[in-house]
Structure 1
């Protein structure tokens, strides 16, 4: 029950924020339900047969499952309306309470934690500067008057609180009613309704795309929507489920991520340490550390702004060409964005950036994915999905980039992501082939979707990550991609002596390093004279490695007006971009 401290100190603005979040979830649920309805209308009548509904209940028809989905939409809509009204009403009651409490305290009365009120002390000494001054013969009369006033103040507080409790109870009943379905199986009791909240423990663990895909496939549409709405951070990170489902989940996280970063920045700005100068010139380390933290948070905010511009074009409308496949603010920030839908594209290319990458570098890295998408799409080779994968904690400077540990730690994540793309496509996207009929006149499920022409591009330290990912555990002879492209690479790991060790076939491993790219001079100090020596193994552009070398322009000279090492970042320019597009579309074989 609502109590005096709850009403006095409650932050009802958070209710209004929750209402907006419910509206966003409701919009995503409505879009999914409408998409399912259109698909059902377009399907043959025989498709509307009894199909397994998964662990939530007995078999259900597709028509019943669609009704369940619209139940959820209506419930979310009602919940958003109730929360918004509750926030407005209870905030008004809170203001009333503050007013009556202020009147009591300004008159010298004390309001206690339970809402009761006590009168100020009665002072018999006329020379005392206490709250009340009176002569002895006035004592009893004043005491009785103060007691009556205290009772009146307490009554005013109780009246406001009583109205607030009554309204709060009504809002609670309305929210409970919003969770009760009105149509479909859930309303008729065909399956147990249970609590509206879903059990987070039933979600599959990350890193197993096949298990995630099987779990997602087992869920009825309404169950999927509930999981997506209540655990978007878990659903958005699941490799193996459809890209658009991940996108819907991750978009729900963007506003919260922005608010969190803005709060972090405000907290830092409010706690700036004193700038201590050493010898009157150099700032002390405390201030340097603080400045570094501020710069990193501001860089993340800029990266998130670039992401929001892509997703909504600055208008609040979803960017249909962009799918947000992962979002995590931990460390340097991890984010995965696809230009185009990898579940339906003919060509899928995943670009893995290197040193210094993270949420802060998203704008530039996403621009590379965009220009490659445009170049590949212009080659009349079918639809292309161009993905930037910033799903790992990357080294942030050259000293850190000497260590292979960042690539070793990223290997499983990249391997899971690439396998998840293939699983999601093959399991959830039907091919154009006609379904094979099953017994009893029932058509079998559509054939699995055809695999895409898939490529992974590793740039700089990102190529080292690719090397470790493609050899991660060597669990199967089938690698998750068709080909790899290694650009400006410092090596793909000391455990990879030859292109064939990547498991793709040497004719499917491409490499290029610009003449003016200083990375070609980054040799292994332990083996400086070894053939093809590089920091992380063998230089992929050395003939001893056995990759297919393609020619790129020399790039701008180092320490020129275009930067310190401009050639290291010019593999997406003009001629080099055209060749890269030919490789990822399979037109250069």
Structure 2
């Protein structure tokens, strides 16, 4: 999309002042052809179908031969043959890999289509805004110093609009590039290995790619000898440790080895040179290391800290379910569990929000400890394991441009769904209850994982939720017999964002379709969720909102932690009998008013929250004036 034809203002000058060219970024994105990617995906899908058909034919032949042989000898020689077993595994794994690539390409095509549409909307709004500013500048005309001052103000405003649009477009492009790189890596990992390579004696040649159906991976892993398993853990810990479908204990053994190696790589060099490790970290190039070694070292120590920080002084067994220290530009990807999810009766997955990354020592690790302790006290006869999941690139801060779009939540929702679903595949087979808990931006991610990525969960709990994106009501979560629960303190300002009064592109406004973060209030009366009490114990009735209350949901003794642990232990249905359910916020039609920035940044009219609606929150939330909030809620 080209820039608008301006008479008085100069696009080149505005771009120079802003330091970013949104039109160029958008045009680069438009070079991609989603329809061609779709056709390629269909080709891989057809190939997967053919291989699956071959698997069926081979299975029929295998049965016929086995029946004939067994009738004569009474043995099971056919099925016991290593060659027959390997061939059958080749068919199954090949079909799975081809289908994985097909689905991956489908997701890339969808991501590209969404990115092109979103950036097109941003650039379209930008063009309209600049045309209006140019008309204002033209009306001023040349002349006096006062006119020149007005012109300079308009020009500065134009540069600001270009810069804002550039930030938004850059955020979308960056998110798409990250998605594309992830799927390219997935396709590479699922490249086809010939049967001869699989039979060559090197078990590494048989490792399924990331994205392979976890049930297929589990079958492959169980077919390996103990010697081959240990060899793969020793020689390829990064691949085994992050492969969904490998049992958690084995994944952890691989990831613990990677963590240990990443720490010793620096510490051993420091010891050899008789200098502190900090000296090596400050000048790695002087000791034969590079920046990646520093990143690995720091993130490995953060994972180690997450395992050491235990409510019972480290006595509870922890596992490292995932570990990729270089993911997301060095921010890192990890998942640490307290207890073994494969052996637990209940599993809770904790997803943190904005500002959390492995390289910062994510808050979910400490929150998980409090949840683990209380959930196991809530039902000591049924073990609860807690997964502290930092498996996505969360927005860096509330001012991160990615906060203005759901692109990160949608892409991350797919990764979360993959990891949660793998827990069902590796579980020991006994009945289990899975709860996924999302806080802040993490709650939007959890909602997208359930609504659009087939995340298999029994219950979902959203706390401090700024709004859900692809899930418009509780029914969109498709839960396995459970409920959508929501905890939202009346003094938490983030929970009010679902009906934000801002009419900016990318910010959701009730009643206005757009690419915003989320426009559905899960604590609202019409959403269909079970709202539990989650007020801050140190907030007096009627007190003003404070961002501090956005971070109190896992506070020991709080209403929120008590209720979350009850849900995680599989007893969420008892909250009503315990008097721990809260009244929903009312839903009132928004007020439509003219947008003073209409044509520049947003539509001509915007919907402001009704003073009685959840957007103001303080006046409408029944929880606001409830007294008797204490911090002595413990199981």
TM-score, normalization: structure 2?
A: 0.49
User: Could you say which residue in structure 2 is the equivalent of 1:490?
Assistant: 466
Q: Deviations over 1:101-125 (max 9, x none)?
A: xxxxxxxxxxxxxxxxxxxxxxxxx
Give the distance between the partners of 2:466 and 2:476, measured in 1 at CA.
17
* CA distance in 2: counterparts of 1:54 and 1:237, whole angstroms: 31
Cα gap change, 1:541/1:507 in structure 2, threshold over 3 Å: closer, same or farther?
farther
Residue of structure 1 equivalent to 2:391: 391
Describe the superposition over 1:107-144 as per-residue Cα deviations: whole angstroms up to 9, x where unpaired. Answer: xxxxxxxxxxxxxxxxxxxxxxxxxxxxxxxxxxxxxx
Q: Do the aligned partners of residues 337 and 310 (structure 1) sit closer, same or farther apart at CA in structure 2, a change above 3 Å counting?
A: same
Q: Does 1:321 align with 2:317?
A: yes
What's the counterpart of residue 68 of structure 2? Answer: none
Correspondence for 1:365: 364
- Indicate whether 1:539 and 2:515 are aligned: no
Distance in 2 of aligned mates of 1:201 and 1:304: 29
- Tell me the matched-pair count: 354
Task: Work out the CA distance in 1 between the residues paired with 2:283 and 2:339.
Answer: 42
Which SS does the other structure have where 2:466 is aligned? coil
What is the aligned partner in structure 2 of residue 303 from structure 1? Answer: 302
CA distance in 2, matches of 1:248, 1:502: 34
**Is 1:213 aligned to residue 218 of structure 2?**
yes
Aligned to 1:508: 483
Tell me how far apart the structure 2 counterparts of residues 519 and 377 of structure 1 sit (CA, whole Å).
30
Cα gap change, 1:271 to 1:507, in 2 (>3 Å) = closer
- The 8 Å contact of residues 327 and 334 in structure 1, kept in 2 or not, is answered as yes
Aligned 8 A contact 1:555 1:567 in 2: no
Could you report, residue by residue, the CA deviation over 1:281-325 in whole angstroms, capped at 9, with x for unpaired residues?
xxxxxxxxxxxx9998897465234135359x99xxx96610111
Describe the shift of the 1:507–1:458 C-alpha distance in structure 2 as closer, same or farther (beyond 3 A): same
Aligned pair partner of 2:457 in 462, 481, 484: 481
Aligned runs of 1:89-108 on 2, under 5 Å? none
The DSSP-based 3-state class of the residue aligned with 1:199 is helix
Q: The residue matched to 2:435 in structure 1 has which SS? A: strand
TM-score when normalising by structure 1? 0.53
Using the TM superposition, give the Cα deviation of residue 56 of structure 1 relative to its aligned residue in structure 2, in angstroms: 8.1
| TM-superposition CA deviations, 1:489-520 (whole Å, max 9, x none) | 11221x22111011127960000111221202
**What's 2:354 paired with?**
355
Deviates more, 1:513-522 or 1:331-340: 513-522
Q: For residue 256 of structure 1, report the CA deviation from its aligned partner.
A: 2.4
Which one of 410, 414, 424 corresponds to residue 412 of structure 1? 414
Paired with 2:439 and 2:547, the residues of 1 have a C-alpha distance of: 14
Judge conservation of contact 1:346–1:453 (CA < 8 Å) in 2. Answer: yes
Matched position secondary structure for 2:378 = coil
CA 1:528/1:536 → structure 2, altered by over 3 Å: closer, same or farther?
closer
Are the equivalent residues in 2 in contact too, given 1:516–1:556 (CA < 8 A)? no
Contact 2:263–2:301 (8 Å) recurs in 1 = no
Residue 577 of structure 1 aligns with which residue?
Answer: 561
CA contact (8 A) 1:53 1:218 kept: no
| 8 Å contact from structure 2 (residues 487, 532) kept in 1 | yes
**Distance (Å, rounded) in 2 between the aligned partners of 1:392 and 1:373:** 22
* Distance in 1 between residues matched to 2:374 and 2:361, nearest whole Å: 20
Q: CA deviation at 1:55?
A: 5.5
| 2:461–2:486 contact (8 Å) kept in structure 1 | yes
**2:203 aligned to 198, 203, 211, which one?**
198
Contact 1:335 1:390 in 2 (8 A): yes
Contact 2:488 2:535 in 1 (8 A): no
Measure, in 2, the Cα distance between the counterparts of 1:569 and 1:551.
15
Q: How does 1:120-139 map to 2 (within 5 A)?
A: none
Matches within 5 A, 1:72-221: 198-200=203-205, 202-221=207-226
User: Cα gap change, 1:211/1:388 in structure 2, threshold over 3 Å: closer, same or farther?
Assistant: same
SS in 1 for 2:356: coil
Q: CA–CA distance in 1 between the matches of 2:363 and 2:332?
A: 15
Q: 2-side partners of 1:324 and 1:343: how far apart?
A: 13
Note if contact 1:491-1:536 (Cα within 8 Å) is conserved in structure 2.
yes
Contact (CA 8 Å) 1:200, 1:231: kept in 2 or not? no
- The correspondence for 1:521, drawn from 481, 493, 496, is 496
The gaps in structure 2 that reach 5 residues or longer are 1-75, 87-198, 270-276, 286-291, 574-635
Bigger radius of gyration: 1
CA distance in 2, matches of 1:557, 1:401: 27
- Checking the alignment, whether the CA contact within 8 Å between 1:463 and 1:489 is kept in structure 2 is yes
- The verdict on how the C-alpha distance between 1:236 and 1:56 changes in structure 2, with shifts beyond 3 A counting, is farther
Alignment pair present for 1:227 and 2:232:
yes
After superposition, the Cα gap between the structure-2 partners of 1:204 and 1:515, relative to the gap in structure 1 and judged at 3 Å, is: same
Q: Residues of 1 paired with 2:519 and 2:510: CA distance?
A: 13
Take 2:239 and 2:554, find their aligned partners in 1: how far apart are those partners?
A: 34
Per the TM alignment, residue 412 of structure 1 is displaced from its structure 2 partner at its CA by 2.1
Q: Which residue does 2:430 correspond to in 1?
A: 450
Alignment CA distance shift 1:344-1:197 (3 Å): same
Contact 1:514 1:552 in 2 (8 A): yes
Distance 1:537 1:529 in 2: 6
Distance 1:51 1:341 in 2: 37
Q: Secondary structure at 2:217's aligned position in 1?
A: helix
Give the conservation status (yes or no) of the 8 Å contact 2:523–2:529.
yes
CA contact (8 A) 1:511 1:550 kept: yes
User: Could you tell me whether the CA contact under 8 Å between 1:518 and 1:565 is conserved in 2?
Assistant: yes
Describe the superposition over 1:336-394 as per-residue Cα deviations: whole angstroms up to 9, x where unpaired.
Answer: 01111111111111011111112134463222111111111112351110111111111
What is the match of residue 460 of structure 1? 440
Q: Report the 3-state secondary structure (helix = DSSP H, G, I; strand = E; otherwise coil) of the residue aligned with 1:413.
A: helix
- The question of whether the paired residues in 1 share the 8 Å contact of 2:362 and 2:390 is answered with no
Q: Within 2, Cα distance between the matches of 1:480 and 1:361?
A: 29
Deviations 1:235-294 (A, max 9, x none): 11111221111111111101222256779975773499xxxxxxxxxxxxxxxxxxxx99
Q: CA RMSD for the aligned pairs?
A: 4.0
Residue 154 of structure 2 corresponds to which residue in structure 1? none
User: How far off is 1:473 after superposition?
Assistant: 4.3
8 Å contact 1:265–1:294 — kept in the other structure?
no
Assess if the C-alpha contact under 8 Å between 1:557 and 1:565 holds in 2.
no
